[in-house]
Amino acid sequence: MAALSLFLDVPLTREAHELLYAYMEDPSPDKVYLDCRGCRIDTGEAWVCPTVLRTLQLVAGDPTQDYEQLPVCGLPEFTRAATELAIGRESQAILENRVRILQPVGAPLKARGSGVRDAIKADATVDIPGLGMGFSSILAFWCRLYLAGGVQTVGVTGALRIGAEFLRRWHCQHTPGPARVYIAVHQLDFFQGIFHDAGFVDICPYLYWDLERLDVALEDFLEVLESSPEGSIILLHGPEGTGLTPRQWEEVAQVMERKHLFPFFDIPGQGLASGDLNKDAWALRHFVARGFELFCAQSFSRIFGLYDEPVGNLTVVARDNVALTRVRSQLEKVAAALWGSPTCFSARVIATVLNNPALRSKWKQSLRAMAEKIMLIRAKLKEKLRILGTPGSWEHITTQLGTHSFMGLLPVQVAYLMKHKHVYLHTDGQVSMCSINSHNMDYVAQSIHEAVVATMLGLSQHPEHCKGQ
Amino acid sequence: MAALSLFLDVPLTREAHELLYAYMEDPSPDKVYLDCRGCRIDTGEAWVCPTVLRTLQLVAGDPTQDYEQLPVCGLPEFTRAATELAIGRESQAILENRVRILQPVGAPLKARGSGVRDAIKADATVDIPGLGMGFSSILAFWCRLYLAGGVQTVGVTGALRIGAEFLRRWHCQHTPGPARVYIAVHQLDFFQGIFHDAGFVDICPYLYWDLERLDVALEDFLEVLESSPEGSIILLHGPEGTGLTPRQWEEVAQVMERKHLFPFFDIPGQGLASGDLNKDAWALRHFVARGFELFCAQSFSRIFGLYDEPVGNLTVVARDNVALTRVRSQLEKVAAALWGSPTCFSARVIATVLNNPALRSKWKQSLRAMAEKIMLIRAKLKEKLRILGTPGSWEHITTQLGTHSFMGLLPVQVAYLMKHKHVYLHTDGQVSMCSINSHNMDYVAQSIHEAVVATMLGLSQHPEHCKGQ
């Protein structure tokens, strides 16, 4: 064999988590990392909801568990509960079977001790009125396997990836012109890799946060939508925390409807913005109610405190049950070649909590408490900056909602924070509010103050070139 | 909006598990499914190793657990233990740091309560002699994060997929000519989708089982290797159960070395063939000892009985530590866009069992017992066919090893079994031995007997056209 490595020209990459690596390389004892993903308690450790923790132990010790492999599309109880959580139990789309596949009375699925998982038993509570008469036998068969329109995925990344892989293959072939994906500029790091690896080449960023007005850049967003090619895919990230009003969402929906744009929602923390699960899903439900066909990727890590067991759900809303069934069959094929079948443990825990009224109620209380804790962190930080007399308005810290927030810092201020204060955050000034706690709050506020004061003299307050960074 | 669905021309697919769906559609109470994936007990239910079950409950109740998100490449204890299981703790490649990345004395990774997982703490037992002097600072930093050459993946499918995605991008650009992948014909269903979705177009099947000689088709395999373009990727599936002798494996390795072919091992059930973990890894370890750079995808579902928590490992063996570090950084990037970070639960359970000598020893006993049970099923089935006087030789049932086996049935006989006896198996006559138990053994033997008798008159016993099916 040759003495040289085959992998000689493979470059070293650190793309996956560049900011984290920069932080970890820093030997300073003062360093602070302001991009922690999950919800955290005051010690900086991961928040774990007590109800979820108790359920987790119950599920692990459940003697009736069979340890059988899940179907490729996951645990039906989980996907159904997740889908209902996102679009609402009373959604017209559910009543019209546009997110839930019909379940006929099926043939016996177990025979001669063959041990194949009985896909129906897990879904005994679904009350769907038998098989529609016009269905072909193939469709009838699929109906037996597909009990919800959702697909359980490995984390929200997995949900975005299988959605993207499907869309590249089918949606893009269907619409005229090249398929383009629009991703908010502050989410490019995370989403671009997923859509690029799924085969998209035409990925355009859109501006989301206006550094001049210290508010959401709605006008720019609407302009981008108006000028986008028909059939483009629009990533709508974290609608619960965008700060758009219902009326503004209606405007967005109107343009997207007229331009036939495809909405791909990403809901990372339903309930963590306002503390109300329904309120946080308003935008998604509005799109569903208007009759959009759409995808929605949900994350459960943050809201259930299960960071080590990432589980996601891709909800498909289609025009009718036939379209849904077909799309779901293709998504199954995509998932089969990505991970085979998903892991069960956290899906079982989440399904147990969501489907049990007592547990669900307790979990909702914890979630609301966490949302309120985040609001309190915002208020405290704003107050600290006010006391320090930091120049500028910091009202936007409390008008935004959810785990993440734009600090309204210019790139040069962010660079100052990293270089001189060992405080690590994204160039656009986005911060995870849960990264701030009583141990680092004073240091962070003081650092922001210093960065603003040190840089403001050398800069006009709103330089044109910073817009959109 | 348009009244028609965007997804109007999406076809329904059942490619993911065609045989299973055909079985599930069959209303007959006699039906038997002979392609169950995992190990099963006599009732047809999934085999769960008692040691693993107890560890699972311990891990779930562990109060020291932090529920933090795993690094993208997974739990270091798990990947290290998995890699050592595959290539052996005393492997020259481990001693030369060609599968395990150097761990320098790093900077403090936690500061100001930021809660970022300390990547080093979990790996405190690794005894590597500090940072090599010639390393650049970037590499030194990577070393801190990468503690084993393996990447934890979601099931073995995930391991194959990230390996394939990486190889398409790098290995294929490096070697002259088009990159071709060779997959054993009986594994095409499973592997083709993975490699196709990862972007490979030139996928060639090779013959593995010779229906004439009722033995492994070594000659044909060697011919394929000889005629393959340099740099092709060869999937070596289930080397523990192929039935090739060490001398024959040496021949394969010689040709692959000479032709610069890239070995991609897939080890679905180490220990389930001979009952001996080391013996079953002989072929892989031989390739490593010869100095091959290779990938090895390991599955843990079967050998740990954790079918609902699929976890896999992709072991990378490189020429040196620098190449390994680079490849691993690219694999991390691929995984970040596939699932973000893997789930932790089963990895923690498996790492606990493998790293604790008492638990490991008990688990090995259970595994050996399961391997012996499979050998017994083989012996019984052969005996039943002998008693029934089924024409032909059935010696090959007991000369093969592992969970899966070629029955030596012609496609026409398989078709007969499915159509007339409701016995479902692959067209090539491959059967999962664990699908056969005391409840269906008589029926399966009788059905095979009928199929052979009914079809033998209309056929010459070894028609040329069946070869390679």
Give me the interface pTM, i.e. the ipTM.
Answer: 0.86
Instruction: Tell me what pLDDT residue B440 has.
Output: 93
Encode pLDDT of B214-251 as tens digits: 888 899 999 999 999 988 999 999 888 877 899 999 99
The answer to whether the CB atoms of B320 and A144 lie below 8 A apart is no
The answer to whether the CB atoms of B197 and A319 lie below 8 A apart is no
What's the CATH class of domain A76-107+115-355?
Answer: alpha beta
pLDDT classification of B6: cutoffs 50, 70, 90: confident
The answer to whether the CB atoms of B45 and A115 lie below 8 A apart is yes
Whether A196 contacts chain B with CB within 8 A: yes
pLDDT > 50? residue A142: no
Q: Side-chain half-sphere of B36: how many Cα atoms within 13 Å?
A: 28
Instruction: Tell me what pLDDT residue B174 has.
Output: 63
Q: For residues B409 and B395, what is the distance between their CA atoms, to the nearest angstrom?
A: 13
CB contact residues (below 8 A), chain B span 90-109, against chain A: 107-109
What is A15-48+364-466's CATH number? 3.90.1150.10
* Mean pLDDT value across chain B: 83
User: Rg for chain A (alpha carbons), in Å?
Assistant: 23
pLDDT > 60? residue A134: no
The answer to whether the CB atoms of A24 and B114 lie below 8 A apart is no
- Residues B61, A37, A56, CA angle at the centre, nearest 5°? 20
pLDDT classification of A172: cutoffs 50, 70, 90: low
pLDDT > 50? residue B468: no
Instruction: Tell me what pLDDT residue B16 has.
Output: 61
pLDDT > 80? residue A31: yes
Instruction: Tell me what pLDDT residue B15 has.
Output: 67
pLDDT > 90? residue B271: yes
Nearest-by-Cβ selection for A310 from B7, B119, B343: B343
Encode pLDDT of A93-105 as tens digits: 888 888 876 644 3
Encode pLDDT of B110-124 as tens digits: 334 444 433 333 332
pLDDT > 90? residue B428: no
Q: Hey, is B170 helix, strand or coil? A: coil
Q: Side-chain half-sphere of A260: how many Cα atoms within 13 Å?
A: 16
Which residue, among A399, A420, A353, A414, has the nearest Cα to A55 in the 3D structure?
A353
The answer to whether the CB atoms of B310 and A339 lie below 8 A apart is yes
Amino acid at B397: I
pLDDT > 60? residue A122: no
Instruction: Tell me what pLDDT residue A231 has.
Output: 86
- Residue B233, number of CB atoms within 10 A of its CB: 26
Instruction: Tell me what pLDDT residue B209 has.
Output: 83
Q: How far is CA B453 from the centre of its chain?
A: 35
The answer to whether the CB atoms of A197 and B330 lie below 8 A apart is no
Mapped to the 3 state alphabet, what secondary structure does chain A carry?
CCCCCCCCCCCCCCHHHHHHHHHHHCCCCCCEECCCCCCECCCCCECCCHHHHHHHHHHHCCCCCCCCCCCCCCCHHHHHHHHHHHHCCCCHHHHCCCCCCCCCCCCCCCCCCCCCCCCCHHHCCCCCCCCCCCCCHHHHHHHHHCCCCCEEECHHHHHHHHHHHHHHHCHHHHCCCCCCEEEEHHHHHHHHHHHHHCCCCCEEEECCEECCCCEECHHHHHHHHHHCCCCCEEEEECHHHCCCCHHHHHHHHHHHHHCCCEEEEEECCCCCCCCCHHHHCHHHHHHHHCCCCEEEEEECHHHHCCCCCCCEEEEEECCCHHHHHHHHHHHHHHHHCCCCCCCCHHHHHHHHHHHCHHHHHHHHHHHHHHHHHHHHHHHHHHHHHHHHCCCCCCCHHHHCCCCEEECCCCHHHHHHHHHHHCEECCCCCEEEHHHCCCCCHHHHHHHHHHHHHHHHCCCCCCCHHHCCC
Q: Where in chain A is the domain with CATH 3.90.1150.10?
A: 15-48+364-466
Mean pLDDT computed over A390-402: 91
Q: For residues A426 and A434, what is the distance between their CA atoms, to the nearest angstrom?
A: 15
Nearest-by-Cβ selection for A113 from B17, B20, B44: B44
Alpha-carbon distances, residue A29 vs A260, B26, B68, B113, B122 (angstroms): 52, 66, 22, 11, 21
pLDDT classification of B97: cutoffs 50, 70, 90: confident
Q: Which of B8, B17, B24 to mutate to test the interface with A (most CBs of A within 10 A)?
A: B24
- Residues B382, B384, B388, CA angle at the centre, nearest 5°? 115
Instruction: Tell me what pLDDT residue A126 has.
Output: 28
Instruction: Tell me what pLDDT residue B7 has.
Output: 83
Q: For residues A158 and A313, what is the distance between their CA atoms, to the nearest angstrom?
A: 8
Q: For residues B383 and B402, what is the distance between their CA atoms, to the nearest angstrom?
A: 18
Instruction: Tell me what pLDDT residue B458 has.
Output: 66
* Mean pLDDT value across chain A: 83
Instruction: Tell me what pLDDT residue B21 has.
Output: 82
- The pair of structure tokens assigned to B108 is 């403090």
Instruction: Tell me what pLDDT residue B116 has.
Output: 41
- The pair of structure tokens assigned to B277 is 């973990």
Encode pLDDT of A77-91 as tens digits: 999 999 999 999 888
The answer to whether the CB atoms of A66 and B60 lie below 8 A apart is no
What share of chain A has pLDDT > 70, as a percent? Answer: 84
N-term to C-term CA, chain B: 50
**CA nearest to A292 within chain B:** B1
Encode pLDDT of A311-321 as tens digits: 999 999 998 88
- The pair of structure tokens assigned to B441 is 């053994």
Encode pLDDT of B129-146 as tens digits: 222 222 233 333 333 333
Q: For residues B92 and B74, what is the distance between their CA atoms, to the nearest angstrom?
A: 24
Whether B330 contacts chain A with CB within 8 A: yes
Q: Where in chain B is the domain with CATH 3.40.640.10?
A: 76-107+115-355
Mean pLDDT computed over A339-350: 93
User: Rg for chain B (alpha carbons), in Å?
Assistant: 24
Q: For residues A130 and A107, what is the distance between their CA atoms, to the nearest angstrom?
A: 13
Q: Which of A4, A5, A102, A200 to mutate to test the interface with B (most CBs of B within 10 A)?
A: A5
Q: Where in chain B is the domain with CATH 3.90.1150.10?
A: 15-47+368-466
pLDDT > 50? residue A17: yes
Whether B411 contacts chain A with CB within 8 A: no
Instruction: Tell me what pLDDT residue A3 has.
Output: 60
The answer to whether the CB atoms of B339 and A21 lie below 8 A apart is no
- Among A329-333, B167-171, B311-315, B456-460, which is the least confidently predicted range? B456-460
The answer to whether the CB atoms of B67 and A308 lie below 8 A apart is yes
Answer with the residue of higher pLDDT: B44 or B380: B380
pLDDT classification of A136: cutoffs 50, 70, 90: very low
Q: For residues B292 and B306, what is the distance between their CA atoms, to the nearest angstrom?
A: 31
Q: For residues A215 and A223, what is the distance between their CA atoms, to the nearest angstrom?
A: 16
Q: Exposed, middle or buried by CB within 10 Å (0-12, 13-18, 19+), for A438?
A: exposed
CB contact residues (below 8 A), chain B span 221-250, against chain A: none
Whether A7 contacts chain B with CB within 8 A: yes
pLDDT > 90? residue A462: no
The answer to whether the CB atoms of B326 and A435 lie below 8 A apart is no
pLDDT > 60? residue A195: yes
Fill in the DSSP letter of residue B241: G
**CA nearest to B329 within chain A:** A13
Encode pLDDT of B315-365 as tens digits: 999 988 888 988 999 999 999 999 999 999 999 999 999 999 999 999 999
- A139 contacts in B (CB within 8 Å)? 12
The answer to whether the CB atoms of A38 and B69 lie below 8 A apart is yes
Instruction: Tell me what pLDDT residue B231 has.
Output: 86
Q: Say if domain B15-47+368-466 classifies as CATH 3.90.1150.10.
A: yes
